[in-house]
Amino acid sequence: MKRPLSSSLWLLVATALLVAALLPFDGTISQWAQGLPGGVVSFNEKITDFGTFRWMIYGAGSVVITAYILNRVASTDTWSSKTKTAWRLALYFLVTIGSASAVVHLAKLVIGRARPELFAEYGPRSISFLAGHDWVFQSFPSGHSAAVGSFFGAFSMLAPRLRIVFAIAALSIGISRVVVGAHYPSDVAAGLLVGVWTVLMTAFVFARKNWLFRLDDKGWPRPKNNIDASAL
């Protein structure tokens, strides 16, 4: 498990550095983003809720996941292979997205950062530990960003050739959280990296079990068989 542990450490360091780099500019960027032209804000309001965990599990996101699983199942030969493919893919998405949800909601409750709507009263760096039960003190990290990080990240591991498309989609929804005034940039960065972390750790676990992924010569998880060429 040396590689997963080292990957976790590097992601933790990367998250801390990125958040630290964004913190001095959080207030300025947040206020500027909310002052963008009405059409830009309106567009971001329309796309932002695609990033909820509810949408991923119970909404259209679950439809996309189901369609992908059925497509993969249809491409396998035997009934045994179909069954294994179906439940392993379902478990992969469930563990990845579920883990991201658990981590980000726990962090929100513990950290209790005030949201941008309280900027005038608290400023961009207000922390009230264990006050996160109140929605307005659940800014860090962004749950929407963690959701899209885990959702699109999971697909990017299965279909690496489309990784840039998934990255743009995740970033777009993450940025929308700043534009609509729900989060600061550092909240979004932390949320996206939480999603990426759960994706990577789940892929490592599955690769060691020889489920869906394999470990390459450098010890990194790669999709098995023809998954790399699969499209949604």
Residues 114-143 have pLDDT tens digits of 999 998 898 888 888 876 578 889 999 999
If DSSP codes are grouped into helix, strand and coil, which group holds residue 29? helix
Query: Left if phi > 0, otherwise alpha if psi is -120 to 50, otherwise beta: which for 224?
Result: beta
Task: Give the number of other Cβ atoms within 10 Å of residue 85's Cβ.
Answer: 18
Average pLDDT, the chain: 88
Residue with the bigger pLDDT between 183 and 14: it is 183
Task: Give the number of other Cβ atoms within 10 Å of residue 48's Cβ.
Answer: 21
pLDDT for position 131: 67
Residues 71-95 have pLDDT tens digits of 999 888 888 888 999 999 999 999 9
pTM over cut 0.75: yes
Q: At what angle do helices 185-208 and 79-111 cross, to 10 degrees?
A: 150
231 pLDDT above the threshold of 50 = no
